[in-house]
Chain A
């Protein structure tokens, strides 16, 4: 089955700096890669996703890049703000396995 690995497990940045979280996957059949943000005590919420037919997607301060050859995808947050502090999860899915495989999560701390 699919295996998704996520790094780093914790990340601390200064407000205004950029943050990058990386995930690798093992199954070339994976074709949908969402990123979820989970604030303390809250439910995970989708912040951005990318499908395998594109290499990059941006939404304001957030971007995701995908390298299908290397089987890795990354979340980029620019101009970080304290409210970006949360746990971020990457995931992979496809029609082949019908469910999501989640990374282990990255706790992002943005210091004011």
Chain B
């Protein structure tokens, strides 16, 4: 079946603009995770969803970052008033359930803030 998809694949925006990143998880996966990966760096946890609720938002870097998930499926990550330090690849992953289940990653969205 189809894997995790993300859109857009690339986004260039001006500093101060808002951006929305989209993630379509594998059908039937109840858990969805967002990570940020700066160039040559590791995976920085941002937030995860169990169904439509987000029990752990501890990784969101600031209040400019927010995320939602509707219908237990698609999720959007919104970054308001983007800054240059927000430039990174944003990865989404989904799994059958939260906890010790394999995560399947999407291809990522490369965000560049100029």
Which residues of A sit under 8 angstroms from B42, Cβ to Cβ? 89, 102-105
**Which stretch, A17-25, A54-62, A63-71, A90-98, touches the partner chain B?**
A90-98
A45 close to B100 (CB less than 8 A): no
- Classify chain B's interface size: 20 to 34
Cα–Cα, bound, A102→B37 (Å): 12
Interface size of A by CB at 8 A reads 24
Chain A residue at minimum C-beta to C-beta distance from B107: A43
B33 close to A100 (CB less than 8 A): yes
Cα–Cα, bound, A61→B48 (Å): 33
Main secondary structure of the interface of B (DSSP, over half): loop
Which residues of B sit under 8 angstroms from A89, Cβ to Cβ? 42-43
A46 close to B56 (CB less than 8 A): no
Q: Mark A20-43, 1 if CB is under 8 A from B, else 0.
A: 000000000001101010000011
Question: Is B102 in contact with chain A by the CB < 8 A criterion?
Answer: yes
Distance from B73 Cβ to chain A, minimum over Cβ atoms (Å): 19
B45 close to A99 (CB less than 8 A): yes
Distance from A108 Cβ to chain B, minimum over Cβ atoms (Å): 14
Chain B residue at minimum C-beta to C-beta distance from A98: B98
Cα–Cα, bound, A100→B33 (Å): 9
B91 close to A44 (CB less than 8 A): yes
B91 close to A43 (CB less than 8 A): yes
Chain A residue at minimum C-beta to C-beta distance from B98: A98
Q: Mark B77-96, 1 if CB is under 8 A from A, else 0.
A: 00000000000000100000
Which residues of B sit under 8 angstroms from A42, Cβ to Cβ? 107
Cα–Cα, bound, A49→B104 (Å): 13
Which residues of B sit under 8 angstroms from A102, Cβ to Cβ? 42-43, 45
Question: Is B27 in contact with chain A by the CB < 8 A criterion?
Answer: no
Chain A residue at minimum C-beta to C-beta distance from B50: A98
Can you name 19 A-B residue pairings with CB atoms under 8 Å? Answer: A32-B99, A34-B102, A34-B103, A42-B107, A45-B105, A46-B104, A89-B42, A89-B43, A93-B100, A94-B100, A98-B31, A98-B48, A98-B55, A98-B98, A100-B33, A102-B45, A104-B42, A105-B41, A105-B42
